[in-house]
Every structure is written in C-alpha cells, then in structure tokens.
Chains A and B, each alone.
Chain A
Amino acid sequence: MKPLTLIEKAFTLKQIPLFATLNLDLLLSIADKANSVIFEAHDYVFLAQEEANRMYFIVKGHVNLLSASGEAICSLKQGDFFGEESLFSNKPRSYAAFCPVDTLLLTLSRTNLYMIIAECPSVAISFLQIYTAALPYRPIKPLENAS
C-alpha cells in the first residue's frame, strides 16, 4: 500500500461522517496530524484491556471488533471508525480490533481529537448523532432507593 498524501488524507476524512461538514482548511489541518498505519492480515490493532491513546479510521480493508472473550462483535469497513470510546472514558480498551486482511488505517491521538472537538463543535455533535442512532434508549442507572 502506498503512503497517503496530505490531500488523500483530507479526502478520506471528508468521507467520514464525523468530518463531512468541515471545510478544506480544517480538513487539511487535521489531515496533517493523522498518521497512516498499515496492518497486515491477521494483525491486531489493539487488544482488550490495553491502554488507549488513539482512534482509528479505516481507509482500506476491514476490521473485526472482538469482545474480551474473543467473540466477534461486528465487522467494520472502509469509512468506519473505532477506538474513540476509551479516549473519552479514559478506560482501557473494552474490545480488541483485528484485521482479517491487509488494512490501511488513519489514526488520531487523544490530544488531537480533543483539540478538534474544541475547535469544531460540529464533530462532537456528529459523535452524539452516531451514538444516539445506535442506541434505542439512553441506559439510565436505576434509582438505588426507589420504592
């Protein structure tokens, strides 16, 4: 796989729903900090319970997410992203990410993700939209002393 140029990184980001509304100035600034990483077939991007520092965007190939016990949770394809949950929760990875084929990913560090959200609140709203679309309801902790 060839390395991505700045323009290609920006174009990849543009196709991801999180960044779809950003203009070229912002996309190029973010693309400058996005690293491209290749994972060979059968490589793990990360394992469950590992410390988390980055989130990932799939440029080519696909990634399977596996639970801590090794069961398949879902398969992600080009344009999907993963690994951001632990960046927000400051907890270790709750799942493993496995590449069944050669896969090209873009990665963003926690610091950069936070900076992007501070500068472009639309990214935070996109995160919320994606999360709420995936949840039928917001899990609410039951009252401990409910009568």
Chain B
Amino acid sequence: MAVEKQGFLQRIFNIYPGEERNALLFACLGFLWAFGATCGLKFADALFLIHVGAESLPQLYIIVSCGMIIVASLLLYAFDKLSSYSIFLTVLSLGIGFYFFALFCVYFELGTHSAWFWYTLRTAGYFLFAILMTCYWTFIDQYHHLQDAKRLYSLFTSSIFLGGASTGGIMHLGVLNLSHLIILIIGLLSFTYCWVKKIARDVPLVSHEDVEPESSGIEVSRSFRFLIQSILRSRFTLLLMASNFLIQLLLVITEYNYMSTFDEHFVTVQDVQQIEGSTESRLTLFLGQWIAIVSVCNLLFGLFVYSRLIRRFGISSLLMITPTLLIIAFTGWSFNQTLFFPLIGFFVVEGTLYVIDDNNFNLLLNAVPTKLKYKIRVLIESFFEPVGMLISAILLNLFQAQSRLLGLILAICALAIALALRSQYLRAILINLSDNAIRFQRKAEEWLSQMPFKQRKASEKRLLSILRLKDHQAQLFGCEGLLAFEDAATLKELLASLSRLPLATKIQAIDLLEQSAFAKDSLVLDTLQLWMQNDPSPELRSAVHFYLAKQGLLHPDKALVDLKSPDLQLRGAAIMALRKSLAYVPPTIAAYQQNLSTQHLRELLSSAHEAELCMGLQILGIEGNSQDVDTLIPYLRHPSLSIARTAAWSIAKIDHLDSARQAPLLLDQLELTNDSDIRVACLKALGSTQDSSLVPAIIQASSHFKPIERRVAEDLVYRIGLRTVPTLLTMTKDVTLTDRQRLLAGRILGRLSLPQLRANLFDIIRQEIDRAYFYFYHAHTIQQAYPNDDLSLLKDVLITDYYSVLDFIIQLLGVSGEVEDEELLARSLRSGSPKVRSQGIEALEKTCETVIFRLLQPLIDDIPTREKLSAYVKSGHKALSLTELLDRLATSPAQIDQIMAATLRYNLDLPGWREALRQQMLQQDEIFHHFAYELLES
C-alpha cells in the first residue's frame, strides 16, 4: 500500500523513484527563503505606504533601480570569484544581519520616525528578494541537469509561490506587529541558512567540467569585454535577453492597461447602476477574487501541468503561449469593451508569466554557453527588471493614449523573438555540446584562415619571433605555422629567417616548403638556389636537388653527374630529372637519358637495401604512372613497415587504379594490415577509382578502422556520389553487418540523400531499440537468474553490445536530424557529466520524431535501472534463458558475441556445445576458427 502510494505521488509530481527526498529538500528551501524574503518585501511595501506615502513611490523606484544596478554588478563580480553556495550563504547572512539591525532600531525606536528608515527597509527587502531568487536558482542548478529541470523546476517554482502565499496569509490575519514580523523573518532566513548547508552536505553536485569547482584562478578571458563579446557572439543568448526584456516591458504595460480598464469599468458601472460602496472597495474585492483564482491555478499548473506539457510538447511550443495570449488580449481589447480581454491580460501578468515564462527561462538558460549562464541570469533577473520598469514608464508617458497599440506591437515583437528562439534552441544546445568536442578533422589552414585580421597579424609576428629562437623544434613550428597561413606577404620574411637557420633546420624546412602552397613559388626556388650557392654542404645540395626534381624543375644536365652518387637522395633526384628530360633536351638525348634513368631505377627497386628500395618506390609514386601500380602492390605486404608504407603512399599518389584487378588487392590489404598509414593510403587510392561497386567492401573493412581511417573512408564514398545510395541503404538496413559498418553506411547515406534515410529511419531504428532493450535487460538480469554460474564476462559483453547499438541509434538519428557532428551526440550521451548527457538528450528530442524519441527515452534518461528493465517487460518482450541467450548471441554479427557464446557453452559444458561450435565455424573467419580449434582441442 505504501509502495503504491509512493508510486502515485511519483507519478503526479513527475518525480523518479529515489528522487523524493532531494526534491523535498529543494522545494522546502524554495518555500523557506521565499516566505522570509516576501515577508520582508511585502510588509515593507505596506509600511512604506503608511509611513511615507504613495507620492514618494517614484523616488523609491529610482533608488531601487539605481541600487539594483550596483547590486547586480557586485553579484556578477562575486560569481567570478565565489561558488554559488558561498554567495547564497553570504547573502542570507547579510539579510539576517540587516534584519537584526532593523529589529534593534525598531526596539529602541532609533530612526523609525525618519522616512529614510522605511526607504531602507523597502529597498533592502527588494534587493534581498531579487538576489535570493538568483541565488536559489543558481544554487539548485548545480544539483540538476536539463532533464531534471524539465520535470522538477515547476515544483520548485510552486514552492516559491507557496512561500509568497504564506506571506499573504500572515498579512491577511494581521496578528503580527513589526517586531514580531522581523523576528519571524530572521528565523526564516536563519532556517534557510541551515537548510542550504544541509543540502550542500547531503546532496551530491551534478558536475559539469566547464564549471571548475576547484579553481580559484581567473580565467584570462573573464573580463567584462569578454562577457560582452561572448553575448554578442551567441545569437541565442541575445534573443533570450531580448525576449526577457520585452516581457518586462509588456508586464508593466499590460498591468497599466488592465488596471485602468478595471478602474474605468467600475466607475461607469457605479454611475449607471447607482451601486452603494466606494469604487476602490469594489475594485479591491474584484481583484482579490481574481488573484485568488489565478493563484490557485498557478499552484496547480506549476505542480501538475507544466512539467507534463513540457515533456509532451517541448519547450519550443510553450514559448508561444504568453505572446499569443497578449496579442489576443490587445487586439480584442481595442474592439470589445467587456472585461474579457483585460482579464486575459490580467491572467498573463499574474499567471502565465510566472508559471510558464519563468519556468521556460530556467530551462532555456541551459542552452546559453555554460560559462555565461550564471552571468546572464544575474543580468536578466537583476538588471532587466528595474531598467524595464524605467523604460516602460517612459514609453507609457510618451504613448499613454496608444498604450494598447504599444502593447500589441510589443507582443508581436515578443512572438517574433519567441519564434526565433525556438529556431535557435537546438543549434544553441548543439553549440554547447560541441564545446566539449575537439575538431581533429580541421586542418591548420582552416584554423588560421578563420582568425580575425588583427589576431592573424599578431600570430604571424609571434611565429616570426619563434623562428628566431635557438630551439630547433621551435624553429620548425614557426616555419610550419607561417606556411599554414598561406600569406604571400610574410613569405619573403619567412625565407629570410630560414636563411639564417642552421643547416639541419633548413633541410627539414625544405620538406615543409614542399608540402606548402608555395612549393613552386619563384621566391622559394630562388632562395633554395641562393642557399646552395652560399653553402657548399652536400646535404643541402642533396635536399634542394631532390626538392627541385620532385617539382620537375631540376635540369638533367645538372643531375647527370649524380646518377652514381653515394648520396641516395642525389641519385633519386638525378633519376627523376633524367626521366623528365624531354622538357629540357632534344628527343634523342632525352630518350637516352630516360633509358639510363630507368636502368638506375630498376637497380633501386631490386636493391636489398631498405632505403634504396624506398627511394625507388617513392620515385614511382612521384611519377604517377598507372602501369607502375602493379609493381608497387606486392610491396604492400613487405615485412618492412617503411617499405610497405612507401609503397602504399606511392599507390595513393597515382590517380589511375584498375578497379577490377588492382582494387581487390588493396581491399585485402585493408583487412590484413594494422598500420594506419597504409590503410589511409589504400583508402585514398581506392577513392581515386570512383567505383561504386567497391563501396560494400570498403564499408565491410571498416569494422576495425581508427577514427581518422573512418573519416577518410566516409569521405571517399561520399565523393563517389549518388550512385552509391541504393548500396548504402541496403547496408544500413542489413542486420548481418556489424553496427559500425551499418553506421558508416548510414552516415554517408545521410550526407548524400537525407530523404531516403528519413523514409526508412523508423523501420531501422525500431528494431534497433528492441535490440538495445534486449541487451540492457539481459545484462542486468542474467546473473541474478543464474546465481551459481560466473557470468560476469557475459554481462560485460552484453553491456558493450548495448552501448554499440545505442551509438548506432543515436548517431543515425543525429545524421537524419542534420546534426553536423553526430558523434558528438553519442559522446554526450556517454559522458560522465549528467549535465552534458541531459543536453544530449535534449538535442536528440529536438532532432528526431516524437514516436522514436518516446521509444528511446527510457533507455537514455537518467532513471533507475529497474524502471528501464520494467519498460522492457512492459513492451511485451520476454526474458530469455541462458541457453536461448547464448543461441541468440551465436547468430549475432558481432564476433565478440559469437566468441562469448562459444566460450560459455564450453565453460558451462552445455549439451551439444561441440556441434553448435562446428555449425558456427561454417560461417566464420580465420580468427574465429583459431579460437574454435583451441576450444575443441582442449
């Protein structure tokens, strides 16, 4: 019964099992501080009117507005220096201290006759309320991620309402005098202080790597200028700020309009109907009734409706509610004189702004760049309210007669901004996620070309200064960096600096020049000639000759003498120069020189020395003749890695590959070699064929590819183009392939033909979600079902399978949702940080269809394992016995599953394991056969 009751409470409040205690702690905290702070504020309001008078309110507003700007600046500074926990406690201490002082003044009647006492009480009450609001949300934000926030924050907002309502109750009762009231505030704030400490002690933080809890250092970029630059760079942040500012303006303008309409209405009614009693009392009664109705609605909405709406429709849809209601109110108001439309305005100001927009703001803040998040909260909550009040007062003074039109225009602007926010939300979440991603695929040229002009020039200057350092590695770094800028203006300076460097550095710099965009620049060639003239060193001459020969710029007459040089590089340069001699000498001489060079090349290729053989292979690659591929291919299996690598790179340089005859040999090599350089070179060579029939083999070979190899494979299939789409679609659907192979096919398919992928997505994903549940369920239950057997290895394999399927699903959904970096989504869901995980889930929710997301959600949400397990059983699946499970693993495309199945059958000595293993062997590769023989022979 107790469990059922608990389950019922969990369901109505949207609390996951195990979360009840913490949710209660945070809700109580919200109630306590709100009760204390609103007591201070509301009573100060009333006392100000009694002791000073309403005529002094404008002065008070100016003081509050200006003071708030100073307080907000202090708060911004504090968030740079201190944790939100420390700030919360400090503010509470200051509040308690202030009210002790106020109590002292009241008790001894010190200054209570002066108007300034009441000014101070009211101003401090406002400051305390505003700062505690910011501190509360910032504090609880450390303990919750975005998905928690969607479920729980409306509960916390309701607890704040309840605090405010309790203040209203006390005011209504009128039983407390000022001293008692101050004592109550001190008590509540002190209790809040202890409650904050208890939470900090008992509840673990939800860590986020970007918010460094241990660092007291100053991030270099934490200046005010950086804050402004960061805000300007983030379109979403700008829109969020603009939206909140407009809401502030609309709040005041709507309130002014409905109050004046109510006032007019009751005056008119009284005149017409000759009703007894003052207009004020009737208006107060009317407002009181409606405030009570809206407050109850707010509480119920916050507690039970908001979190469900947000999960059902997403935050993007809820953004539209307030602007739409205001447009309806202001439009209808102009034509209809009843109280219906003003009441809509009243409902918005007293209701939706608190229960929808405030909650929306707390969620949207998660899409703001992490480092700006708390500052944006302070800016919006502390600056915008007073400034908004001031500007709306000015606007109302200027356009008093057209205040409804003004409201309508502002409401339309608010709707436009809400639409823009909606469209930017996913992008902003993905940008936040990508803050954790390193873009390894980017080339240095891309990084440098994106620098602003000023930074570019400063970097070039810095690199030139690095070139002047005595360190050899630093000099090369400077040279590489300057060449990557591809700035012709600095080339002369770079070459002049290089000329002053030691010989060893110069020789390595020649390699860098060769790979740069300036390889054939006349300035470079002249400099190289000059170096040779000034330095007779044979190493330099060898390097320069080789460089020139590769570019086809070495004159055969200069090279002829080097054909028998002991220096291998000089010999290589001579061979290359003579083979291209037709450009420099008459045909008969050229023919002779070519024959001569061919003879020397053959000598190199048949040499037993590794370096000579490599030189020969390298020359074949530089020449790029397609008939040489046959010569090069056998060297791919050479036991010497450097020879195999040189052969692979030479093949990659040759554009023409016979896809029927030579490509299969390269595909074999992809499977056989473990060397990444050889694989990348083979892939590049295969890409040059542009043959779509090679795609299945390339993708099948990708199972064990490293990230860089996968990127190359993806790129080469993508370049083959739309012809590959049918093959890719078939492979993405093919459950006999491994998840990695299918994923690669799906990713390329998404890039080439998104509609095709989307059209088939549901069918593909549906079965994969079932698979993921299957693995997850059995990983967590199989050991309990067979407690006497050691199934820890099986559990590990099932967990690995689960993550592999999940990766496949997430990345494929990312591809179909046009997420630029789909691996980012998968990585974020595997992240150790719950905040990153929650943002990954949010991005996924926004990119995939609701039906798919609903199926997937129990798996990816941070809910207790038993809930996930029950989701599997509820969806009509049954638990397999160990034998059934092993049978299923034996037919899995993943080799690890097959090996696991065979091993366990053997270990547990299940009946017929030998026969089953022999059956498995019929369809398996060499590795499995080796393993199977070991089992059979044991």
| Cross-chain contact A30 with B220 (CB below 8 angstroms) | no
Main secondary structure of the interface of A (DSSP, over half): mixed
- Which of B207, B210, B436, B439 interacts with A51 by CB under 8 Å? B207
| Cross-chain contact A46 with B215 (CB below 8 angstroms) | yes
- Which of B217, B448, B466, B833 interacts with A38 by CB under 8 Å? B217
Nearest Cβ in chain A — how far from B114, in angstroms?
44
In the complex, residue of chain B having the shortest beta-carbon distance to the beta carbon of A116: B438
- B224 within 8 Å of A by Cβ? no
A111 to B447, CA, bound (A): 21
Nearest Cβ in chain B — how far from A91, in angstroms?
14
Collect the chain B residues with CB atoms within 8 Å of residue A105's CB.
217
Q: Quick one: which of A1-42 are within 8 Å of B by CB?
A: 1-8, 10-11, 14-15, 20, 23-26, 28-30, 32-33, 35-40
A44 to B218, CA, bound (A): 12
| Cross-chain contact A111 with B831 (CB below 8 angstroms) | yes
- B67 within 8 Å of A by Cβ? no
| Cross-chain contact A7 with B438 (CB below 8 angstroms) | no
B410-418, B456-464, B519-527, B630-638 - the one binding chain A: B456-464
- Which of A23, A29, A115 interacts with B442 by CB under 8 Å? A29
- Which of A40, A53, A112 interacts with B207 by CB under 8 Å? A53
Q: Quick one: which of B450-477 are within 8 Å of A by CB?
A: 451, 455, 458-459, 462-463, 466, 473-474, 477
| Cross-chain contact B438 with A11 (CB below 8 angstroms) | no
- A65 within 8 Å of B by Cβ? no
- Which of B217, B442, B463 interacts with A28 by CB under 8 Å? B442
Q: Quick one: which of A27-79 are within 8 Å of B by CB?
A: 28-30, 32-33, 35-40, 43-47, 50-54
Given A20-B473, A38-B217, the answer on whether A111 and B209 have CB atoms closer than 8 Å is: yes
| Cross-chain contact A37 with B220 (CB below 8 angstroms) | yes
| Cross-chain contact B458 with A52 (CB below 8 angstroms) | no
A93 to B652, CA, bound (A): 49
Given A5-B458, A7-B459, A43-B216, the answer on whether A25 and B477 have CB atoms closer than 8 Å is: no
In the complex, residue of chain B having the shortest beta-carbon distance to the beta carbon of A1: B220
Q: Quick one: which of B407-450 are within 8 Å of A by CB?
A: 436-440, 442-444, 447-448
Collect the chain A residues with CB atoms within 8 Å of residue B458's CB.
5
| Cross-chain contact A110 with B220 (CB below 8 angstroms) | no
| Cross-chain contact B451 with A29 (CB below 8 angstroms) | no
Collect the chain B residues with CB atoms within 8 Å of residue A144's CB.
none
Given A3-B221, A43-B216, the answer on whether A109 and B436 have CB atoms closer than 8 Å is: yes
A88 to B804, CA, bound (A): 23
| Cross-chain contact A14 with B477 (CB below 8 angstroms) | yes
Nearest Cβ in chain B — how far from A112, in angstroms?
6
Per-residue interface assignment for chain A, residues 83 to 96, with 1 indicating a CB less than 8 Å from any chain B CB and 0 otherwise: 00000000001000
Collect the chain A residues with CB atoms within 8 Å of residue B216's CB.
39, 43-45
Collect the chain A residues with CB atoms within 8 Å of residue B436's CB.
109, 111-112
- Which of B219, B448, B836 interacts with A36 by CB under 8 Å? B219
Output the residue of A23, A37, A111, A118 with the most chain B CB within 10 A: A111
A44 to B451, CA, bound (A): 34
Nearest Cβ in chain B — how far from A42, in angstroms?
11
Collect the chain B residues with CB atoms within 8 Å of residue A50's CB.
213-214
A111 to B434, CA, bound (A): 12
In the complex, residue of chain B having the shortest beta-carbon distance to the beta carbon of A2: B220
Collect the chain A residues with CB atoms within 8 Å of residue B836's CB.
111
Collect the chain B residues with CB atoms within 8 Å of residue A40's CB.
217-218
In the complex, residue of chain A having the shortest beta-carbon distance to the beta carbon of B447: A28
Output the residue of B214, B451, B707, B833 with the most chain A CB within 10 A: B214
A2 to B836, CA, bound (A): 31
Collect the chain B residues with CB atoms within 8 Å of residue A109's CB.
209-210, 436
| Cross-chain contact A6 with B451 (CB below 8 angstroms) | yes
Nearest Cβ in chain A — how far from B63, in angstroms?
36
| Cross-chain contact A45 with B455 (CB below 8 angstroms) | no
A40 to B218, CA, bound (A): 8
In the complex, residue of chain A having the shortest beta-carbon distance to the beta carbon of B836: A111
Collect the chain A residues with CB atoms within 8 Å of residue B707's CB.
118-119
A37 to B481, CA, bound (A): 24
Given A29-B439, A111-B831, the answer on whether A119 and B219 have CB atoms closer than 8 Å is: no
| Cross-chain contact A32 with B447 (CB below 8 angstroms) | yes
Collect the chain B residues with CB atoms within 8 Å of residue A32's CB.
438-439, 447
A116 to B209, CA, bound (A): 16
- Which of A1, A7, A39 interacts with B481 by CB under 8 Å? A7
Nearest Cβ in chain B — how far from A62, in angstroms?
15
In the complex, residue of chain A having the shortest beta-carbon distance to the beta carbon of B439: A29
- B708 within 8 Å of A by Cβ? yes
A93 to B215, CA, bound (A): 13
Q: Quick one: which of B187-240 are within 8 Å of A by CB?
A: 205, 207, 209-210, 212-221
| Cross-chain contact A25 with B437 (CB below 8 angstroms) | no
A104 to B215, CA, bound (A): 13
| Cross-chain contact A25 with B444 (CB below 8 angstroms) | yes
| Cross-chain contact B438 with A119 (CB below 8 angstroms) | yes
| Cross-chain contact B209 with A24 (CB below 8 angstroms) | no
| Cross-chain contact A4 with B477 (CB below 8 angstroms) | no
A37 to B217, CA, bound (A): 6
In the complex, residue of chain B having the shortest beta-carbon distance to the beta carbon of A47: B214
- B480 within 8 Å of A by Cβ? yes
- Which of A11, A35, A36, A51 interacts with B466 by CB under 8 Å? A11
In the complex, residue of chain B having the shortest beta-carbon distance to the beta carbon of A25: B444
- Which of A1, A2, A8, A37 interacts with B215 by CB under 8 Å? A37
Collect the chain A residues with CB atoms within 8 Å of residue B538's CB.
none
A67 to B913, CA, bound (A): 56
Given A110-B832, A111-B831, A116-B438, the answer on whether A5 and B217 have CB atoms closer than 8 Å is: no
Collect the chain A residues with CB atoms within 8 Å of residue B219's CB.
35-38
- Which of A11, A24, A46 interacts with B214 by CB under 8 Å? A46
In the complex, residue of chain B having the shortest beta-carbon distance to the beta carbon of A119: B440
Collect the chain B residues with CB atoms within 8 Å of residue A44's CB.
216
A23 to B484, CA, bound (A): 12
Collect the chain A residues with CB atoms within 8 Å of residue B466's CB.
11
A109 to B484, CA, bound (A): 27
| Cross-chain contact A45 with B217 (CB below 8 angstroms) | yes
Collect the chain A residues with CB atoms within 8 Å of residue B220's CB.
1-4, 35-38, 104
Collect the chain A residues with CB atoms within 8 Å of residue B437's CB.
115
Per-residue interface assignment for chain B, residues 341 to 364, with 1 indicating a CB less than 8 Å from any chain A CB and 0 otherwise: 000000000000000000000000
A35 to B211, CA, bound (A): 12
Nearest Cβ in chain B — how far from A88, in angstroms?
13
In the complex, residue of chain B having the shortest beta-carbon distance to the beta carbon of A8: B462
Output the residue of A26, A50, A104, A109 with the most chain B CB within 10 A: A109
A101 to B827, CA, bound (A): 38
Nearest Cβ in chain B — how far from A127, in angstroms?
17
A7 to B484, CA, bound (A): 11
Q: Quick one: which of B706-735 are within 8 Å of A by CB?
A: 707-708
| Cross-chain contact A51 with B442 (CB below 8 angstroms) | no
In the complex, residue of chain B having the shortest beta-carbon distance to the beta carbon of A52: B214
A39 to B707, CA, bound (A): 37
Collect the chain A residues with CB atoms within 8 Å of residue B207's CB.
51, 53
In the complex, residue of chain B having the shortest beta-carbon distance to the beta carbon of A109: B209
A8 to B477, CA, bound (A): 11
Additional pairs, 9, CB under 8 Å, beyond known A36-B221, A43-B217, A53-B207: A11-B474, A14-B477, A24-B444, A28-B444, A35-B221, A37-B215, A47-B214, A111-B209, A115-B827
Q: List 11 A-B contacts (CB under 8 A).
A: A4-B220, A6-B451, A20-B473, A28-B448, A29-B439, A37-B215, A37-B217, A45-B217, A51-B214, A53-B207, A105-B217
Pairs of residues from A and B, 5 with the lowest C-beta to C-beta distance, nearest first: A3-B220, A46-B214, A37-B217, A7-B459, A109-B209
- Seen from chain A, the residues whose Cβ lies within 8 Å of a Cβ on chain B are 1-8, 10-11, 14-15, 20, 23-26, 28-30, 32-33, 35-40, 43-47, 50-54, 93, 104-105, 107, 109-112, 115-116, 118-119
